[in-house]
Amino acid sequence: MKKTKLIAGVAVIAAAVVAGLLWSNGDTSADNVASNDVLTSQPPSAADAAAVERGRYVAIASDCTACHTMPESKLPLAGGYSISTPFGGIYASNITPDIETGIGSWTEHDFFRAVRHGKGKQGEHLYPAMPYNAYVKLTDQDMHDLWMFMRSVKPIHYQVPETHLGFPYNIRLAMMGWNLLFFKNSGFQSDPNQSAAWNRGAYLVEGPEHCAACHTAKNIIGGDSSEYLQGSNLGEWHAPDITPNSYTGIGGWSEQQVVDYLKLGSNHVAVASGPMAEAVTNSTQHLTDDDLKAIAVYLKHVPASETVRPQPIAADNAQMKMGANVYSANCTACHNSDGKGIPNLAASLAGNPGLLAADSSSIITTMLQGGRGAVTVGNPTSGAMPAFAWKLSDQQIAATATYLRNSWGNAAGAVSAEQVAQARAALKQPPQMAAH
């Protein structure tokens, strides 16, 4: 009897603890500072111009365009872009002030609660494809300014397709459990032991820029792992390690070289491509020099990953020999025989940390479908690489990728033809053209 009572008591205590955590985790009282003014009820006046401009900057820093504007569309912030997740596509919402299809009927309080706590107008839980676990760190002032900017946005009548995920991911209440595990319901806390620049950089990286969304590996249910900013797979791309690891990360970059990369889309070795090119084009190039320097200061001081440089694959390896021949015939015009590339145009392959991750998705994708670097004010011509899917076989692309990852002082695992074949199919790239 005593044992039964003890078990029952422990169960009651455990239930009370879980209930308390759920309440604390779901507490949105921090958003009560916002008004109940409807978005379209009071368009911003001339006196609000400064707040609107500050809000525009917050929107740029938060890269709202990336998800809420369909690529190549003329419907800014009208949603419709399908965000790819391991559980299916999630359509980004229309966040223009259209009353019927956008957020025109929302109040400022509704807006705060959605952005910082992942809850829609009716209290429904949003999927964490919306990075509210980062935006929770946005200050009240930044949130208010962002709201004022949203009032100035042109309303666009566009009905976004509904998101349909399979069971059990279609159960929105399940997000309560996800939030309990992975959502830290607290705003940004500055560190008094660090400099003002470090704290500003931490705020930008952890909050509006939400760098961990791509650069921190995820677990099986989409929560951040403990490997903060140490790189993560994005399907056909790999977001690289951006910690101070000198092998796979940015340990060999100066603060100015980090700034150059974020402002120009390229630096002494790397050229932003894929999703990062979009982030540079839409967001980081528009940040102030002081904010870019602050991000660099912070990134250079986060804990470095512990990845150790492996032994390179020998140059006389059969795959390396094939890769060397393919590289010589197809790549040296832009990347040079020494792998140093062309500054601000063609990436250096020698000492490029983006090539050295265990995950070789990015180099395979780039070789198959080609790509274009970030287009920025400081580097408007950018650089483009042609697709080689039509020209090279899976074996040739695998051999070339292996060669790149193990030449000029580089060292990384071999890439297999099977990996290339899988990527070719996923990207819907054509087979190698038959010789006649």
Q: Which two tokens stand for residue 316?
A: 């006389």
Of residues 376, 377, 406, 404, the one with CA closest to residue 388: 404
Task: Return the pLDDT at 4.
Answer: 56
83 falls within a domain: yes
- Tell me the residue type at 339: G
Distance CA 184, CA 102 (A): 28
The total number of structural domains that make up the chain: 3
311 falls within a domain: no
- Specify whether 414 is located in the same domain as 345: yes
Q: Which domain holds residue 348?
A: 318-426
26 falls within a domain: no
Task: Return the pLDDT at 13.
Answer: 41
Task: Return the pLDDT at 8.
Answer: 44
Q: Read off the pTM.
A: 0.91
- Specify whether 322 is located in the same domain as 261: no
- Specify whether 232 is located in the same domain as 325: no
pLDDT means per 10 residues, the chain with 436 residues, are: 47 44 68 84 81 97 94 88 80 94 95 95 89 97 96 94 78 84 93 98 98 94 93 93 96 97 94 94 97 98 94 96 97 94 88 93 96 90 89 97 97 97 96 78
Distance CA 7, CA 354 (A): 53
166 falls within a domain: no
- Specify whether 295 is located in the same domain as 323: no
42 burial level (CB within 10 Å; 0-12, 13-18, 19+): exposed
Kindly state the helix (H) or strand (E) to which residue 291 belongs, with its residue range.
helix 289-299
Task: Return the pLDDT at 436.
Answer: 53
305 falls within a domain: no
Task: Return the pLDDT at 435.
Answer: 64
CB-CB contact of 273 with 371 (8 Å): yes
Q: Which two tokens stand for residue 159?
A: 């009905």
Task: Return the pLDDT at 25.
Answer: 66
DSSP assignment of 1-49, as one string? -HHHHHHHHHHHHHHHHHHHHHHHHT--GGGGGS---BTTTS---GGGH
Q: Which two tokens stand for residue 323?
A: 């890769």
185 falls within a domain: no
- Specify whether 89 is located in the same domain as 140: yes
- Specify whether 322 is located in the same domain as 295: no
Query: For the chain, how long is the longest CA-to-CA vector?
Result: 86
CATH code assigned at 362: 1.10.760.10
- Specify whether 91 is located in the same domain as 128: yes
CATH code assigned at 134: 1.10.760
- Specify whether 279 is located in the same domain as 347: no
- Tell me the residue type at 325: N
- Specify whether 332 is located in the same domain as 381: yes
Q: Which two tokens stand for residue 21?
A: 């955590």
15 falls within a domain: no
- Specify whether 259 is located in the same domain as 328: no
User: CB neighbours (10 Å) of residue 175?
Assistant: 18
Kindly state the helix (H) or strand (E) to which residue 179 belongs, with its residue range.
helix 174-182
- Specify whether 274 is located in the same domain as 358: no
